[in-house]
Amino acid sequence: MASIQYREIEGRSGAYLALLGVLGALILGGLGAAWTMEHQGHHITGMSNRIVWGTPHVFAVFLIVAASGALNVASIASVFGRELYQPLARLSGLLALALLAGGLAVLVLDLGRPERLIVAMTHYNFKSIFAWNIFLYTGFFAIVALYLWTMFERRMQGYSKRAGLLAFVWRLVLTTGTGSIFGFLVAREPYNSALLAPLFIIMSFSYGLAIFVLVLMASCRWTGRPLGELVLKRLRNLLGVFVAAVLYFVAVQHLTNLYIARQYEVERFFLLEGGVYTVLFWGGQVVIGGIVPLALLFGTASRRAIAAAAACVILGGLAQLYVLIIGGQAYPQLMFPEKEVASSFFDGVIAHYAPSLPEVALGVGGIALALALTAVALKVLPFLPKSLADGDVEPAAA
């Protein structure tokens, strides 16, 4: 697509500086929350010895999964040869790196002893999926950076397809590893499932594309760059397919568990008697994250409807991961099958958890970091095309 030209954003307006100011304040709030939890102790959070992965982990996993999916647009362009998506590939790679950086920042600051990260980076237990993830995350940074280099450097453009193929395979492995963190936990009935790996892959497609659509629409509108209906139509249809696929895999997962007798009580907890987790599942994950976006995307399909659908996908995704991560820990571990267990250690009792302000502030700070990195990068390097009007991209859509 030789006619496409790229240009940095000027980044001199008061609105741009105000955006950076707001994002910077949220980042500082997240750092302050991490410092407070580090010095006061995790007793100020909603976490306990039964729920050790709290709200920050929900945000961190969401950003990491979305980072893989944000690269999907670039993969469609280079790996599958769809030239219409080629002008969007640079922004796709940028968002993938920024979202992963934000997610890992939250993850590291939520460890309780972030300075001990060096131990995890120098001592490996290859029977642990966590050890493998260190290689997957760092490898993703390196491969996507290489991929972006082939897009920017004219002499390297001949290698772009091969770099894109490597990035495509690597991100599938990365998302599989993230889902396997939970799928390999056989001691937790809500987690132990081989379906979590493919579910996380399709979740990444949906979450990453939703964020990509919002960033693209906001960037073009705020910088006065044309964004044609043809590009939006393709992205809208693609997002609708991914949202429907997430609902399908979720239905398969729960129907499979209902078929397994020993999983019946787990399903009863999530679908009927789980309190806030049941509400978030049906109201947040299914309705807001699935049914409403599908109605908006395949209904009126105006620009506002597309933006609203993408925002609903993001909210539904956070609800889905909250139910999976925290609800999976809240459900009591089955220590002795077919036996009723009661003790002073709350065996057999659903664990209580309520997010605290520092936890939410840290998670929001990770999102703000990802957006701030994106905003600064758009000013420094030409990631955005000058125009995505129908007349500029229509020849590639043939």
Residue located via tokens 């993938």: 96
Q: Judge if pTM exceeds 0.85.
A: yes
What band does 17 get if pLDDT is binned at 50, 70 and 90?
very high
The CA distances from residue 250 to 70, 247, 318, in Å, are: 21, 5, 15
Tokens representing 25? 């304040």
pLDDT tens-digit readout, 100-126: 999 999 998 887 666 777 776 777 777
Task: Give the per-residue pLDDT at 185.
Answer: 78
Task: Give the per-residue pLDDT at 349.
Answer: 78
The DSSP bridge partners found for residue 7 are: 384
Question: What CATH number labels 17-333+342-389?
Answer: 1.20.1630.10
pLDDT tens-digit readout, 261-286: 778 888 899 999 889 999 999 999 99
Task: Give the per-residue pLDDT at 363.
Answer: 95
Task: Give the per-residue pLDDT at 338.
Answer: 64
Q: Which long-range contacts (CB under 8 A, 24 or more apart) does 159-165 make?
A: 160/78, 161/78, 161/79, 163/78, 164/74, 164/75, 164/77, 164/78, 164/79, 164/89, 165/78, 165/79
Task: Give the per-residue pLDDT at 376.
Answer: 95
What band does 347 get if pLDDT is binned at 50, 70 and 90?
low
* CA separation for the pair 162, 50 (Å, rounded): 45
What band does 2 get if pLDDT is binned at 50, 70 and 90?
very low
Alpha helices in the chain (DSSP H): 14-40, 55-70, 72-78, 89-109, 117-122, 129-152, 160-183, 196-223, 229-259, 264-268, 276-279, 292-297, 303-322, 328-330, 357-380, 390-397
Task: Give the per-residue pLDDT at 1.
Answer: 44
pLDDT tens-digit readout, 18-34: 999 999 999 999 999 99
CA 119, distance to chain mean position in Å, is 26
Task: Give the per-residue pLDDT at 341.
Answer: 66
pLDDT > 90: percent of the chain = 56
* CA separation for the pair 382, 331 (Å, rounded): 48
Domain parsing of the chain, residue ranges = 17-333+342-389
The DSSP bridge partners found for residue 227 are: 388
